Structure 1
Amino acid sequence: MATNFFTLNGKTAVITGAARGLGLTFATALASANCNLAVLDILHEPSPSLLALRDHHGIKVEYYRTDITSRSEVTAAIEKIEAEFGRIDININAAGVVSDESFLKTTDENIERTFAVNFTGSFLVAQACANSMAARYKSIHGSEPASQPTTGTIIFIASIATYIASSAQQISCYTASKAAVKGLVKPMAMELAPYGIRVNSLSPGYMMTDMMRGLQKKQPQLVDQFEKETLFGRIGMPAELKGAILYLCCDSASGWYTGQDLLVDGGASTWKHPAILASD
């Protein structure tokens, strides 16, 4: 259970991509801090583990099947969340896609889909949530600029790929989309600070998600390479990101932290690893 220092009691988080994967891990972490959850995802049904958080923690959990690349669908979902939850305090943009495709052969379809989900979808949801947060601030404080960052927090999920290129995959399109997401953080933090809103990003390293388990079966040598690239010789577990996401969400822990990217990668970006140098 989260300590009182990391409590989110009574707050509401809008999380994209939480039907499964890292988004579900983030939802679980926030639920442990008594945060209500409004989840946006494209899947018809979320993982049963998501809905089970409702009874396990005594919180409100609702699932909204939404195409986050559609402004009209995002607007409708956020309006419904405002009506059903009363307010939005946290937004975590975890929905994402990746395709292993060489730069020289990257297709228009890959470019359009990757940027539509990873960048445009994150932008649209963050924009809608930020407008909701700013409107709530103005209804209470008028035009007076905030002196405390207590209105809300927006978090983008970036990637270790924006720090160091891996020879194990060809994901230039994905990396560019995540760099674009990370590029939103500083200007948004500056623009939204007067409304008491913090904006940051979290960059995970190689994590043992369902996608990674699939790669482990299809391309075991790829996962072996990832393991060699970390300082601990293993893939990170999703639960090892829970502390980081709670830190970013809780004003009591990170109230003076905004406009930044938090890298959690098991040290993979720290060194020039010898794995690719070995030829025998």
Structure 2
Amino acid sequence: MNGPAVVTLVSAARLDHAQAQWARTAEIEGLRQVTVWLDEKSPPRLPGTVIHLPPGANGLRLAVGRNVGAQAAIDGGADLLVFLDADCLPGNNLIERYCTASREHSEAMLCGPVTYLPEEFVGTTPADLERATKPHSARPNPTDTRCELAPADDYRLFWSLSFAVTAPTWRRSGGFSELYEGYGGEDTDFAATLLERTIPLVWVGGAHAYHQYHPTQAPPWQHLDDIVRNASIFHSRWGSWPMEGWLNAFAKAGAIRFADGGWMRVT
């Protein structure tokens, strides 16, 4: 059976948010679900095709998880892969807009706008989400019926929170680099690969997703070691440094320093 499939990566820490997502996707007729469970322990009962992917030596394997989730969706007959972060609720027209855009731009990577919901937000009805719509200002937000082709400089804005791609274009992309484990870097690496392989990036108006609130740190101190390690992997592959804002913040606080051409922890 052809059609779209949603691929969601989830751990126990984000299970409640993912349950809210699945309550909405379950209402969409013909939409299949692929769920990748990232924790060491066996998963609880989860919707759709379930893949258990325990952590690697350096943390959760997000890049591998997206790759195995995509392959499972394709093996199940999906011709459009919709990747949604576990924290994200799909907007009222997200699947419809991605499907329409995929017919118009079958050789492109498709990205919709994301609204960060405030802590005080309650309710998940279509009207609730519509009233809350306020997409993150760092990324384009075309009108609801439009798609915009991203220039080369915009590839750095690619976000894995919400994106979609046809099965043939996913194969052409090669998927995410599986060198990355733990937090950070794999999105930017994937975007660099898309640009290198001349795969268009298209902003899809109306394909709204809504990121549910959870506490964060800025910079994310809990991920310091992951960020330093993954930034070094990215630099070795592409010759530039990702996540520079966070790296500079860690350095300003005295936690890391730049020496001999790379970042390292201060002991």
* TM-score after normalising by structure 1: 0.32
- Which protein has the bigger strand share? 2
Asked which structure has the greater RCO (Cα within 8 Å, sep 6+), the reply is 2
Give the helix-richer structure, 1 or 2: 1
**Structure-2-length-normalised TM-score:** 0.33
